Structure 1
Amino acid sequence: MKFKTYLFISLGIFLSQSTMAESFTETFHGVPKLNLNLYAFGADVDGKIGQGNLSYKVDQPFKETIKELDHSFMAHVDLSKGRWGLFLDHQTVETSQEKSAMSVPVALSTKLNQASYGLYYQAYISPETTTQNYPKLVIEPTIGINHTKAEANLSALNQTLNMDTSWNEFFWGSRFKYNFDSAWNLASEITFGVENTISAHAYLGYRIPIMNRNLNIRAGYRYFDQDYKANNFHWDIRQQGPVIGINLPIF
């Protein structure tokens, strides 16, 4: 908690000082930019889903998720102008499985929709690299709303749990970008939600020129921890694993 408080205060001071250094309208100077990111998250999942007296312990490696995957879609859209930007990150994952827990037949199907709506500000932009038209380092404090909609059907011991709930939570954090004097680049982000959600990821990318645009191929690692309680419902899930994707500038 002390680390999160320190990071929040530091980013707040940094942001306020940077904003005062130039007029507000000047921070919007520049052409609009739209980026589309498509990615795949190879997550190992563990935790617990429960409601009332019925709960289910989740311990599912990615190879099992692939076998039980019904549908998946993951995308990130980023629109910016000047130093300001908006982004939407969306994940939809549907799974179904039948297994036994202590010789008891268990049937579980889940549908998880997660979306993050965020606003960021480029509080620090270093000079461009010597060979690339990109800043060496960019720091972007961000705030936004996480929206989660979880559906699950769990059957065990002649009991059936039909769960359908959704919730929103405010988050804050920061994004970091670093460009080498080559096509290689790094990007990372860490955010904290008020409902005890932690999201962190880091990527290594490589830009490839295609039709006057730089297609950025990225690979990295992502960690997502959610612990939400409401009434008799408890959603305590951790996802972590490798991520691969592409970043394509639209304009």
Structure 2
Amino acid sequence: MKCLSGISTAHIIFAACISAASIASGQALGADILAPQPVAKFDERRWKVIVSPYIWAASLDGHANIMGRRTNIDVPFSDIFENLDFSAMGNVEVTNGLYGVYFDGQYTKTSQDESFHDQTLGADVTMTTLSAGAFFRAVEVPLEGETVFGTQRVFAIEPTAGLRWTQLKVDFMLDRWSERRKLKWTDPFVGARIQADLTDRWHLFAEADVGGFGAGADLSAQGQAYLGYRTHIFNQPALLRFGYRALYQDYDGGDVLGHRFKWNVTEHGPVAGVSLVF
């Protein structure tokens, strides 16, 4: 169902962004190798702001019930360029190393046409997902040595809790007729994060959560894992990240043109980004 492929594109002009990330990575690594700067040791417990723009090359798998039609969804990332109008995503974290909060957002707008009763039905689809969570460091095990940022290498476990808000907005157009439908739901979630400093530069991050519990979706679950490389960009501590992310949502509710809306879909795919520490 063509209309659904736009939602999967929720996630990015991946090739172009990878090129930009590669250029930035090359510059950052070159700066460290060719003109290393002495790193001032800073207080590990000071409050920091970590800004992380990223790109998610997500595919969609599952099924949906829209306008009375059950449709199996199998949309690979290779189809995203066809209908994508605009996409943006990023993460902001505020932490002192012991406690913290984070905000994560994804916004995507697509346009496409769908065959409907021998006529062409236009559909503009906008999907927004916003998450806010808090965490605390429940376990911290010091490891031998320091990172290139002058901090103690550690292995840490951090429980998390928060809310994930999803909005799906669809504008239908058929000849002179037009209709707009907006669906939104909010899922509470609980989970945990694991961080491990593998070397002075290499860093492993993994996170998983489960939510919904019938408050919004019947069930939602998310998992992601990244391998990061510490470097400096314009003398600013930075972490280049590459990994994989998946988000599952099972939502049943709302009305689209007189029919009940159902969404049982998994978004999954590789992720690349950079985290700047301020």
Match 2:237 to one of 214, 218, 238:
214
C-alpha distance in 1, partners of 2:47/2:246? 30
Aligned runs of 1:43-122 on 2, under 5 Å? 43-51=58-66, 53-98=68-113, 107-122=122-137
TM (norm. structure 1) is: 0.78
Aligned runs of 1:107-146 on 2, under 5 Å? 107-132=122-147, 133-146=151-164
Contact 2:153 2:200 in 1 (8 A): no
Q: CA deviation at 1:97?
A: 2.1
The answer for the alignment partner of 1:175 in structure 2 is 193
| Residue deviations 1:115-143 (CA, integer Å, cap 9, x gap) | 11101011111114414224321111000
Q: CA deviation at 1:178?
A: 0.9
Q: CA deviation at 1:55?
A: 4.7
Q: CA deviation at 1:39?
A: 0.3
C-alpha distance in 1, partners of 2:227/2:267? 20
Q: CA deviation at 1:106?
A: 5.8
Contact 2:146 2:200 in 1 (8 A): yes
Match 1:234 to one of 224, 247, 262:
262
Q: CA deviation at 1:197?
A: 0.6
Q: Output the amino acid matched with 1:237.
A: V
Contact 2:162 2:188 in 1 (8 A): yes
RMSD value, Cα: 2.6
| Residue deviations 1:176-196 (CA, integer Å, cap 9, x gap) | 111112311111110101231
Contact 2:146 2:153 in 1 (8 A): no
Aligned runs of 1:181-220 on 2, under 5 Å? 181-194=199-212, 195=217, 196-220=219-243
The answer for the alignment partner of 1:245 in structure 2 is 273
| Residue deviations 1:7-40 (CA, integer Å, cap 9, x gap) | xxxxxxxxxxxxxxxxxxxxxx932111000100
Q: CA deviation at 1:59?
A: 2.6
The answer for the alignment partner of 1:12 in structure 2 is none
Distance 1:35 1:220, change over 3 A: same
How many residues align? The count is 220
C-alpha distance in 1, partners of 2:119/2:204? 47
C-alpha distance in 1, partners of 2:83/2:237? 35
Uncovered stretches (5+) of structure 1, i.e. residues with no partner: 1-28
Quick check: 229-238 or 163-172, which moved more? 229-238
C-alpha distance in 1, partners of 2:248/2:173? 25
TM (norm. structure 2) is: 0.71
| Residue deviations 1:205-231 (CA, integer Å, cap 9, x gap) | 111123443211111111111111125
Contact 1:134 1:179 in 2 (8 A): no
Contact 1:54 1:161 in 2 (8 A): no
C-alpha distance in 2, partners of 1:211/1:155? 48
Contact 2:51 2:277 in 1 (8 A): yes
Q: Secondary structure at the match of 1:64?
A: helix
Distance 1:110 1:237, change over 3 A: farther
C-alpha distance in 2, partners of 1:130/1:210? 23
Give the % identical residues.
Answer: 28
The answer for the alignment partner of 1:25 in structure 2 is none
Q: Output the amino acid matched with 1:36.
A: V
The answer for the alignment partner of 1:148 in structure 2 is 166
